[in-house]
């Protein structure tokens, strides 16, 4: 739009000059009014408003539906995306820890839960949040000197004792340790294992409907997860997703993204964790879950503030409609100028009528942009996210 407006200005100035010279030759008394009419009637306001008005309306509509647009370019990419990549834990699924399944080796269940909750006190990963919920009734503890190791776990001091919580090989300082309990988070100190926390997970509400709707629209979906193959395969089966990658490191995710983009796909990445931040930053459009980590939020162009997966479909529909209205705005601005400028140059449009025409063209563009989202309504459980997002 900016490029079209810039070219239009140059051409209008040339047209006004030619108009003035031509009328000066035939009828000098009409040279100034005709040149002035050309300048006024062709004011590039419609071009200048075509994109901002459509974009502003789309952003406002999405904000009412719990979708915050951080990067304006992300909306266009979302409308054009033909490949969606999903993280699993915290994005498609909600993890939890059942107290009956927790295996305590030393001490009591409440003590183990209190230590685990303290170690995870600053962790926004879904597993960390689930552990804090599980340990909400345990005696509160405070951990210091916390150190998070990406993709492995967390360690910290509680009452002078150094604890580790995470993968077995990390917690036990032994690569390849505890292969029997691959899925469990292991809590250990220098004396060995204290407890094992096997996670349970269930699909997020609307996850299956989201994948089905994207498939019906001809969009291919896949899962990129750092979890074990069995867990990823189970979720992929529940969602009827054919392609998935398990035990993927951030580097593996970036490599997969590079392959898809090299094949010409426009890729949308949906994630929530620290491990997802690099691939979110590299995707054509990055979408973060509201409950996710700050790093995932910072790397994303679109944030689902309400964590409702169905709002992703709403965002895609609004983005597609925005592109339609935007093109209509540009085409209207072009058609208006192609018809109005010759009439003004020939002397059929006086300056006062040119001013009305210029204003009317801008009003048409704005009214057309306001049609975005008119026929869609926000879900009744969607938050009023502007104030919530600021908070």
DSSP SS3 for 92: coil
User: Is 87 a residue of the active site?
Assistant: yes
Point out which residues pair with 164 in neighbouring strands.
Answer: 155, 188
- What lies within 8 Å, CB to CB, of 220 at 6+ separation is 82, 83, 84, 243
Quote the DSSP letter at residue 264.
T
Residue 307: both structure tokens together: 């964590």
Quote the DSSP letter at residue 90.
T
CB-CB contact of 139 with 162 (8 Å):
no
Q: How far is CA 3 from the centre of its chain?
A: 27
CB-CB contact of 87 with 204 (8 Å):
no
Residue 347: both structure tokens together: 């002397």
Distance CA 136, CA 122 (A): 14
Picking from 267, 265, 210, 260, the residue whose alpha carbon sits closest to that of residue 239 is 210
CB-CB contact of 225 with 236 (8 Å):
no
What length does the chain have? 391
Helix axes 31-41, 2-26, angle to 10 degrees: 170
Distance CA 382, CA 373 (A): 15
Catalytic-labelled residue, pool 87, 227, 272, 284: 87
H helical segments located in the chain: 2-26, 31-41, 45-64, 73-80, 109-119, 126-134, 168-171, 207-216, 229-239, 250-262, 277-282, 294-298, 310-345, 351-369, 385-390
CB-CB contact of 161 with 188 (8 Å):
no
Picking from 165, 120, 118, 112, the residue whose alpha carbon sits closest to that of residue 142 is 118
Q: How far is CA 281 from the centre of its chain?
A: 11
Residue 82: both structure tokens together: 């033909």
Q: What are the phi and psi torsion angles at 387 (to 5°)?
A: -70, -35
Kindly list the catalytic residues.
87
């Amino acid at each position: 739009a900016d490029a079209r407006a810039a070219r239009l200005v140059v051409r209008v100035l040339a047209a006004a000059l030619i108009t003035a010279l031509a009328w000066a030759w035939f009828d000098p008394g009409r040279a100034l009014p005709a040149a002035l009419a050309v300048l006024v009637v062709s004011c590039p306001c419609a071009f200048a408003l075509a994109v901002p008005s459509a974009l502003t309306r789309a952003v406002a509509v999405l904000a009412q539906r719990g979708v915050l647009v951080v990067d304006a370019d992300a909306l266009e990419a979302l409308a054009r995306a033909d490949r969606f990549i999903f993280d699993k834990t915290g994005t498609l699924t909600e993890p939890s820890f059942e107290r009956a399944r927790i295996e305590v080796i030393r001490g009591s269940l409440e003590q183990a839960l209190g230590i685990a909750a303290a170690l995870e006190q600053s962790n926004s990963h879904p597993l960390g949040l689930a552990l804090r919920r599980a340990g909400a009734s345990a005696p509160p503890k405070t951990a210091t000197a916390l150190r998070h190791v990406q993709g492995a776990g967390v360690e910290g001091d509680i009452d002078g004792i150094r604890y580790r919580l995470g993968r077995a090989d990390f917690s036990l300082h032994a690569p390849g340790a505890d292969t029997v309990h691959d899925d469990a988070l292991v809590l250990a100190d220098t004396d060995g294992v204290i407890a094992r926390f096997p996670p349970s997970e269930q699909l997020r509400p609307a996850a299956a409907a989201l994948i089905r709707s994207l498939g019906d629209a001809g969009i291919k979906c896949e899962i990129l997860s750092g979890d074990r193959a069995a867990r990823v395969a189970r979720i992929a089966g529940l969602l009827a997703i054919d392609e998935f990658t398990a035990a993927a490191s951030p580097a593996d995710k970036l490599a997969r993204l590079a392959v898809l983009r090299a094949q010409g796909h426009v890729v949308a990445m949906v994630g929530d964790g620290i491990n997802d931040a690099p691939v979110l930053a590299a995707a054509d459009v990055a979408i973060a879950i509201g409950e996710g980590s700050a790093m995932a939020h910072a790397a994303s162009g679109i944030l689902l503030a309400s964590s409702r997966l169905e709002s992703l479909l709403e965002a895609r529909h609004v983005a597609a409609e925005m592109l339609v209205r935007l093109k209509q705005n540009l085409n209207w601005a072009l058609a208006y100028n192609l018809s109005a400028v010759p009439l003004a140059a020939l002397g059929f449009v006086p300056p006062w009528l040119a001013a009305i025409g210029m204003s009317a063209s801008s009003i048409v563009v704005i009214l057309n942009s306001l049609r975005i989202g008119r026929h869609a309504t926000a879900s009744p459980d969607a938050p009023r996210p502007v104030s919530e997002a600021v908070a």
